Amino acid sequence: MKKLLSVIMTLGLLATTLVGCAGQKNINATDWDYIRNKNEMVVGITLYEPMNYYDENGKLIGFDTEFAEEVSKLVNVPVKFQEIEWDQKEVELKSRNIDCIWNGLTVTEERKANMAFSKSYVVNEQVVVINKANADKYKSLADMNGINVCAESGSAGESAIEADANLSTGNYLGVSAQKDALLEVKAGTCEAAVLDLTLAKAVINEDTDYSDLMILEGASLQSEEYAIGFRLEDTETVKIINNAIDELVKNGKLAELGEKYGVDVISK
């Protein structure tokens, strides 16, 4: 009996040791190890032209889509695009439902507290969009005191509204996507929408469903930069992706994508 108890105790100690070693191994593993081991980088996106959107054949295209695919080739890890709710992006990232946010993500000090960023690759700004029928009524931000205004929830547009002395005095409506904000303006529910210039330039044209809208000239709210968001302590993946970005800048591929999709890339 004593011999049996001794064997049981020995096995128990061995199991505890193995669990401890496995746990230590997992603790020491980087996010890049995790991504490489599953041989897939899950990219969190929303449908946002010209960054990530479907063409007439149902194929996902866009600046960020092709950018991610080019980086994927260089780092030898396939990418999988997964649609998310934009205001849940930090939750999705921390829970590992996605491995990064690659969808016209604006770099802010607040976000730096919750995620790590790659180097910036696009210059953007927040603009105000109104109905052309109101062009004489709204000629500047000073004319927009107290109006109904909308933006995508959790977006840089929402932050810009909150920071502006005129727009912040009105009734604010948060919507699920930037294009939804444009639809609110078309419907007259909101007098103005605040959104990314990259999207506004892409969709507000004479031959689109938003031909009755316009960008308010001279009402740029803030300049900003786009970068890829990773989990906060994920320095290894950031380093690897940054090296790939440098290569795409060097070989001219990033500039080529910028010209293709009408995006102002940072070429350094």
User: Quick one: how many helices (H) and strands (E) in the chain?
Assistant: 10, 13
For residue 218, how many other CB atoms are within 10 A of its CB? 9
Say if residue 52's pLDDT is above 80: yes
pLDDT band of residue 11 (cuts 50, 70, 90) is very low
Say if residue 15's pLDDT is above 60: no
**Per-residue pLDDT, 5:** 43
**Per-residue pLDDT, 229:** 98
**Per-residue pLDDT, 208:** 86
Say if residue 26's pLDDT is above 90: no
First CA to last CA distance, the chain: 73
Mean of pLDDT values over 84-112: 95
- 31-118+227-261: CATH homologous superfamily? Periplasmic binding protein-like II (3.40.190.10)
**Per-residue pLDDT, 22:** 42
- pLDDT above 90 as % of the chain: 83
Mean of pLDDT values over 228-240: 96
The architecture in CATH of the region 123-224 reads 3-Layer(aba) Sandwich (3.40)
Name which of 107, 111, 129 is nearest 199 in CA terms.
129
Is the Cβ–Cβ distance between 178 and 49 less than 8 Å?
no
Say if residue 149's pLDDT is above 80: yes
Q: Give the model confidence (pLDDT) of 184-218 as tens digits.
A: 999 999 999 999 999 999 999 888 889 999 999 98
Does the model's pTM come out above 0.85? no
Question: Boundaries of CATH 3.40.190.10 in the chain?
Answer: 31-118+227-261, 123-224
Name which of 260, 220, 226 is nearest 245 in CA terms.
226
Q: Give the model confidence (pLDDT) of 104-116 as tens digits.
A: 999 999 999 999 9
Q: 244's torsion region: left (phi>0), alpha (psi -120 to 50) or beta?
A: alpha
Tokens of 206: 């004479």
Burial of 58 (0-12, 13-18, 19+ CB in 10 A): exposed
Say if residue 2's pLDDT is above 50: no
**Per-residue pLDDT, 28:** 58
**Per-residue pLDDT, 235:** 94
pLDDT band of residue 29 (cuts 50, 70, 90) is confident
Say if residue 1's pLDDT is above 90: no
Residue 137 carries which side chain, given as an amino acid letter? K
What is the 3-state secondary structure of 125-151? Answer: EEEEEEEHHHCCCCCCHHHHCCCEEEE
Find the angle CA(42)-CA(196)-CA(242) to the nearest 5 degrees. 40
